[in-house]
A and B are shown apart, each in its own frame.
Chain A
Amino acid sequence: GQQVMQIPQYQHVQEGEDFTTYCNSSTTLSNIQWYKQRPGGHPVFLIQLVKSGEVKKQKRLTFQFGEAKKNSSLHITATQTTDVGTYFCAGPGTGKLIFGQGTTLQVKP
């Protein structure tokens, strides 16, 4: 069945360092979404990418959708302690979203 893989599973960085999480789908996606879950919280929608090669920015976060629409990345520049949490990518399945395993980011102050 359709799978969405995400790496790395965990990432520890020093505050101020950059961070990137990668998402790969077994099938071509019509769109890809990214969610953030803070510790003890619930997933919150961040962004959706639709076009091949699309790049979107939200302040220090840069989201990219691959040319083949099978992979995506989230890059955070100069991490802050507020960036701590688990980042999930998700692609549309049949009537549902298929979530990646998530990348948990820890930021050392």
Chain B
Amino acid sequence: GAVVSQHPSRVICKSGTSVKIECRSLDFQATTMFWYRQFPKKSLMLMATSNEGSKATYEQGVEKDKFLINHASLTLSTLTVTSAHPEDSSFYICSARDHRAGGFYEQYFGPGTRLTVT
């Protein structure tokens, strides 16, 4: 089955620093990857859609200058949380679509990254 990895799985950083999270599709190519944020016992909040070779599409209310997304290849997308603050602490999950899927939108999720900003 399709596998998506995320790195790191956990990260603790100090307020004001930047953190980069990587999302990789391991056995398929993904023209589109998605970045979600999930608060405890809450639903998935889509932050942005990452398209290979083009700019990410951000959801309303998500600061693109704070959450930098780069989708440099068909297997890698990165999310950088810049100048992190404690309110950025959350569970960040990426997902990817197999580019051969066509109209089938099944998404494969990464294991998530737990970010804690102190």
Contact = CB atoms under 8 A, between A and B. Distances in A.
Interface of A: 30-31, 33, 35, 41-45, 48, 88, 92, 95-97, 99-102, 104
Contacts of B93: 42-43
B111 A48 contact: no
Given A45-B107, A92-B105, 17 more contacts: A30-B103, A41-B111, A41-B112, A42-B93, A42-B109, A42-B110, A42-B112, A43-B44, A43-B95, A44-B109, A48-B104, A48-B106, A95-B57, A97-B34, A99-B43, A99-B46, A100-B43
Given A100-B43, A101-B43, A102-B43, A95 B106 contact: no
Nearest to A44: B109
A109 B46 CA distance: 34
Nearest to A50: B104
B41 A104 contact: yes
A97 B105 contact: yes
Contacts of A35: 109
Nearest to B1: A45
10 contacts: A31-B104, A35-B109, A43-B44, A48-B104, A96-B34, A97-B34, A99-B46, A102-B43, A102-B44, A104-B41
A96 B49 contact: yes
Contacts of B111: 41-42
B32 interface: yes
Nearest to B60: A1
Contacts of A43: 44, 93, 95, 107, 109
Residue of B46, B49, B105, B110 most packed against chain A (CB within 10 A): B105
A92 B49 CA distance: 14
A88 B44 contact: yes
B28 interface: no
A86 to B, nearest CB: 8
B32 A45 contact: no
